[in-house]
Structures are given as structure tokens and as C-alpha cells.
Chain A
Amino acid sequence: MQIPPSARSGEAAPDPAAPVAESAADIAVSVRGLVKRFGATTAVAGLDLTLRRGSVLALLGPNGAGKTTTIEVCTGFLRADSGEVRVLGFDPAGAPDALRARIGIMPQGGGAYPGVKAGEMLRVVAACAANPLDPAWLIDVLGLSGATRTPYKRLSGGQQQRLALACAVVGRPELVVLDEPTAGMDPQARRVVWELVSALRRDGVAVLLTTHLMEEAEALADEVVIVDHGRVVAAGSPAELTSGGDEQELRFRARTGMDVEALTAALPAGYRAAETVAGRYVVRGRIDPHVLSAITGWCAGQGALADDVQVARRSLEDVFLDLTGRELRS
């Protein structure tokens, strides 16, 4: 079996004497210029990302953004049309079996025999690993012990998801790849998953996940890569993406097509107004009562009511809306 040079680095605590400089061994996943087409459709159009060991990267975007395609290229289920992909030092499409012995994958929607019990399925997956976790313990800790007699096809969506997650981590992998890990889960189950991902990160496992949930990306990820139409539209830590310095913003709804240049001019220097999508406006800058009053007053002067007025720091949802002009969950 082929052993990549980085293979053992995840098993020991980082050596404090080791150079701080970024080395290839720190990188779990490296994607450069990934392009993947299906017929005339380009699912991924030149995507870059870098995931370090012991950190969590969230691919965030709406359905059809190219998240799952990217994941499937990284796990060797699809071959890239162009670009360079390295996962734990492997070319995923070239050495899928060697790679999959070192990673844990949660395919979208999970996967199990329709008639299988959760424990049976997890034991099959555990048998494929050299040093698996105890399946019975994992079933219990993920809250599935109440459903051990239920066949997979009769489990709830959230229960199926938790089994899929257990299958992804049972082999004690170096890298865990989770495609929409909390889809269909209730908030309590989602908490358990978030706690699990935090524990993976703490124990030195790299986690690559996709989500279209803002709060999930904000809560879990060290780095968020926002994708839309197969391209990266923004990347950075949640704080970097949402802060824009210390800037606040004010959002409101009003009639479409108001002159945002005129609104900007009507405000003190340093404030910027924009219409993000039709009828939705944002003003960036430090929002104080004076500016708030100036904005609503200007709208009144246009014969428009500024409705649904909100002052906030930017959320990832706002970042996405601003970058793509689309709602994340449309």
C-alpha cells in the first residue's frame, strides 16, 4: 500500500520544535483550479480551497452551487476535468482505495441497506477499518440506542443522518468529509453533530463539510468558502467574512429602484447605500440614531416607507446575498 509522506503526522501531537512555516504535511486537502463539467453544464468552474489538519472548512452555498461535486472529486468518486486535487497527499481519482482507508465520508443522504439495523450497518463499516471506535458506544452517544430494532428504511431522516455520521467517523480517519451533515435534523440532534465536529477538530482531524446553513458554518468552521455557480465568491474565517472591520449596517425594504447614489450623497461621508436585490437596501457604516433618522427621512422624501428596518453586523447570510444577489435558501 502506498503511504504518503504526511500519513503519520495526524497520530502524534504537533512537535513544538517543528518549523512554524506552512508545509505540505499540514495540508489535508488542496484544490487548485478545479473544473468539472457534466455535458454542457459546468458544475465547478475553477474552484480553489485549502484545508489544514485539525481545522474545519465549510463549503457554503445554495443547492446546485457545486458543493457536492467538489466533495465527490475530493473523495475520488468523480474525476476532475482540470485542476489539481490533493487529499492527504493522494490524487483521489488515481488512488481511491488507498485514500478511503484514511478518510471518513458521509455521502449526502447517508446510505445503508433498507432492512438493516443501525448497529449492524455500523459494524459492517467499522470492520473496514483497522482501529475502529466501538460501534455500540457510538450508536449510544449519537442517540440511536432507542432505534436499534428499527430497520434503516423506517428511521427518521435525522436518525439516518446520525447513522451516516457515525459511519463517517467510526474508522478514526485523518479527514472527515461530511456532505450536508445536519440536513433533516432537529435542533437537538444538530447540537450533537456540532459537538462531534468540534471534538474531531480538537483531536486533530480535518473536517470538510458542506452546508447551506449559515449558523452551521459560523458555529463550526475555521474557514468558510462561499460558492455559487461553481465558483468561490468569498473565502475566509466567519469573522473576516462578516466583519468588514468594525462596520455595521442597516437593512430595510422599500419600493424597488430607488436612487441609491442619491441616498449615499444624502448621508455623511463614509456611508454607502446599495440595493442588494430588488426592494432590499443596505447602508454600511456606523449606524447611529442620526443616520437612522436621515435614512428613513430620505425614504419619506421619496414617498417610500422604509420597512423591516434592521441594524446588525453582517451575517454570512448577508454576505452571500450581497455577493450573489440571491437568497441562500431560495
Chain B
Amino acid sequence: MKRAKHIKLNRQGILWVVAALSISMLPQLAAMPAHLIPITLLPIVWRLLAEFRDWKPMPMVLRVLATGFAVAALVITYGGLMGRSAAVSMLALMLSLKLLETFRIRDARIVVSLSLFLCGTQFLFSQGVPMIIYITACVLSSLLALMYLHRGEAYGNLGKAPDNDRGILTELGFGVRLVALAFPIGLVLFLLFPRWSSPLWGIPEDALDARSGLSDSMTPGSIQSLFMDDSPAFRATFEGVIPSHGQLYWRGPVFWDFDGSTWQVSFLSRNLMADTKPDPGRAPLRYEVQMEPTEQRWLFALDYPALVPRRTRLTMDYQILSRRPVTQLFTYAMASNPNFQDTPQLRQTLLRAALELPQGFNPRTAEMMAEWRTEANSDTEIIQRTLAHFNREEFSYTLNPPLLSRHTVDEFLFDTRAGFCEHYASAFTVMMRMAGIPARVVTGYQGGYYNNIGSYVLVRQSDAHAWSEVWVRGSGWTRIDPTAAVAPERVEQGAVDSLAQRRHLFDFEWLRNVRNTFDLFQRGWNNWVVAFGADSQSRLLSIFGWDVLNSTKLVIVMIATIAFVGAITFLLAPLLLKFRSPRKQDPVLRAWQKFNRKLARAGFVSSPSMGPLELAECAGGQLKYKDDAIHRIAELYTLCRYSQADGDALKLAELVNGFKPEPAVR
């Protein structure tokens, strides 16, 4: 085969290449350290100047020096070239440097192809739906550039100038048709290529869009900050009954240690495992949780979890802790039994831990609780009295509580009387401990949005909640939600809907509903693309009856499917790629072409060089029985097409449609 000539890149070509590269590079530019940005942009600027000022290509020595400088800058910045950020930055920088020597179509094509790869690397950083939209834009711009380059090359090999008079939409349409042809094969590769057990995209590093969510400590205000965040925390798909909104307490970090302002996870609760857990066989709630990455170890479950997912452990206060932080989409099956009795016998060490309070804090509360203690006969009575206190006195549930200083509980109970769930949980737990009742703070999520279409519960960061548990002899740890005593609608409706005020400027209820419904797509994307691993693959294949396939068999199936799909694509390609002439848009011409086709079917083949009246004369001579109709159509056509008067195109179309010659006998 003759080697293709090296065709020079013209101005339009270089502009296309720069545009495609810049679009693909944008997020990388935003993410890289500031001093690397000018280094990355410089070659692009040089190349554009070279184009407009007719500079010669840069000498080899300078290019090598520039590359060396760039690598040095990368090594100094990242301390090496390994690692995700460094590697992607290097790709962006080298692509930009490649422009220095891009003066031919061959080089330009490499740049555009690699900029497609560059935008693919963005999946390493973010896998959300907005990313898809952005990547689509990248792909389209690169596609346009590639088509332009290929046409330039094809015409260049013939020694001609390409005809680039097509509109951008026509161009794009053609590109999309090309992609449509490639799509089935891509889909087969995606679905059938042997998978690792973990999803392809998951990279155990600092995934940028991991929301930390709940953390290992709680101060007044920490949950409140989550409340502003509408990003999803996890989704739960129930088998069978879905508990009512008020029952959905998703258990997360449990706090024992209080230093006067901050609640913290205790050493004991982290390291003591649960002695007993509910019998999974008899747990009434069964569901699957798909968790967004959090960079934390907690998994969330309804009270009380009966299953322990792989690589996790269940602590004695029924937190599920993963061995590694959750850095990628994580799906686990879960069962819960809400009627389980938690720790009927409390050990001495734990009892002490559940009663411990720092010295010298909150004297007023201590005084009140001592008084209540003497007046009460049982623990239950004190609990009831406290809740009644919250309910009856002028406590309010608000998003903007006043700031508290040293004696947080005192100030809250007697002065400010306005707070968010963590204020109530914290104050209640402290009050219980002061009255000698073992108590702890539990954080997690309360409620969630039930998506009707997808039949799953979506829990957002804004559903974060804090409540208390008290240990009562005989019945064990019991959940008490003091917030419910102040604002029952918080538990019944959810945190966001229970507030009268808007959280921010764009916080409208209808908008939230739209978002909740649209979460369906996010979930589908998660299920079918981001979290598509070996499990999902074998589940998909089992539909077709291939239960367990090893890699070799999978590859055979894959190749066979590609051959089949490829053959169909090959047959369909000419149909899909035929360029439609824009002239056909003219109704007069369209009618005339239709008329010509009808004549051809009737056995009269017209020549393109025939004028309409000439054609009518010949056709009328051949198809005598239609002579009149043919002449009428031809005359109306000449009138429509050549005269100044606006001919009646509709009438022409009507005449043509009514023209029904007998098909030719062969």
C-alpha cells in the first residue's frame, strides 16, 4: 500500500485541534497547581501565534529542552511522576507540548485522539452525571476536529482542497452517526469484557467527590453544616415492606465521650465487638444499601443490623465499621430487626463510660437534675419529665441557633432555648448522665425520600440527624429522640421540609422534588456504569443462562458477540452514513424528484440534462395515457422553479402525489 503523504495542516485545522484540546483540558487546568497552568498554556499560545504570524516550526533542540523543563516542573511539583494527579497532569502538559511540532495532519490527529483519552481520565476524579454531560461536549468537539482532519487528509491524498462548506450541524450529525455505528461494539466490550470484582473506575485514593458526611466527632453545628448539603449519602432498596418515615433511623457513629463541648467516639466502642446480634433469618426488614464514597469507615443500617458485610465488623454499640475507608461506591445487603433488645446487661466499664461527665461544666443543669432525681421514683419518670420539659417550655427547632460558649448545656437549656438536633441530643444525654442514667449520643440519618418510580429510599446528607439512647434496666439501650419532642414534624416529614424558612436562595420545594425524581438517573448510572463490576456482570449474564463464566469463556462469548454485532453494523453502515443533499429541503424540487422516481418506475428513465418541458415531451410520448398529467406537472414545475411568481408548491405536490402511472412491465 502506498504510504500516505504528509499533508500540512491549515489554519482551520489547527483551530479545531486547539479547540478540542482546550475543552478536554479544562478540568485538568482547574485541578492542577497554579504554577503549572501557565506552563501548560504556553505551548498552545505559541502554536496559535505561529499560525497567525507564520512562524517556522520550533527547532528540535528547543522542543527537547521544553520537554525536559516540563518534566522537571512536574517532578518538583508532585515529587515524582507516579500517582493519579501527576500522571494526568503530565498527559495534559505533554499534549500541550505536542502542539509545538503539530504542523501536519498526522500529528494533529494524534493530539485530538489523545485529548479524547485525556477527557476519559477525568473519570478517575469524578463519576457523576454532570461529568457525563461535560465528557459528551469533549467527545463532540474532538469528533468534529477528527472529521475535519480526516477529510483534509483524504482530499489531500487526492491532491485537492477539501470541501468544507457543510454546516456545523450537518458535520455533527455525521459524527454522531459514526459514533452510533461504533456504539454497539463499545457496549458489548463494556458489558462482556472480564471484570475485576471491584468496579473498573474505583481508585483507592482521594476521590474528589467523596463527601465526608458524618464524622467521628460531634460539636454543635457539625450536623447543621451537613444540612445545607443535598448530595446523596446512600440509597436503600427494600425488599417487601418499607418502614414509615418516622421509623427510618439510619444508625451511624455512636458517641460516648463528652468534653464539655464535643462528643467523640470512645476507644471502647471502637474496639469491643458485639456479643450478640439479631438473627438475620428473623429480621423483618431486608434491603440493599448503595453508599456514596465518604472517606470514612461507617456503614449505615437501620436499628438493629443483623448482617455484617464482608470486610466490616459490628461494634458492641452496633456501628458497622469497614476495615478501610469507603472511597468508592459501595453496595451491601442488609437486614434489620427493630425489636432486638440491645444489651440487657451493661458491663461496669461501659456503665461508667456511659455516665462520665467532665468536671466543672453546666452547674445549673446539674443542680436541676439533682432536684429531679430526688423527686422521681424511677429512671423512666425522669426521662418522661425531661422530654415533657422540652415539649412544654419554649424550645424551638431552628436552623440558626445562637452561639454557645463554655457551659453549652446550661446556656442552651436556660438562655437560648433554640437549637438543632445535635443541641437537643447533646443536652438530653448530658441531663440523663447527670441524673445517673447511662446515656449516649447516636448520629446517623433520619428519614429519606421515597422515590416512587424506582421504589427506593434516597437519603441525602441533609437528612443527617442526632439522637440519644438511654440504658434502662430490663429493656437495655432505648432510643430517645428529644428533637421529636420539640419538633415532631422533623421526624415525620424530614429535616428540610419541617423548616418554614428556606435554607438558601434556590431552595424551593418543587426544585427539591425534581431533584429527588432525577436521582433515579444518578442511581441508574451508578448501578449500570460506575458500580458495574464482576457481580453485576454475572447477574446480567445469568439472564441469558450463563451462570458462572470464567474469563476465557467470557472472552469467547465477547468475541462472538462482537463479530455478530460488527457484521450487522457493517451492513447498516451505508444506510446510516449516506449524506442527505440539503437541496431536498426545497418542496418544489422534492416533488419533482418524486415525480421523476414515479416515471422511472413506470419505465421512463429521464436524463439529468433534460429540461422539464423536454422531459414532459419525451415522457408523454412514451406514456401516452398520462400525457396530460405529465405536461401539467412539468408546466407547474417550471412555473414554480423558474418564474418570478411564487408557484403553488402545494398544488405541485398534490399533482405529483395524484400521479399514478402503471408500473413498467419487465
Q: Do A and B bind each other?
A: no
- B residues contacting A by CB (< 8 A) are none
Binding site for B on A (CB under 8 A): none
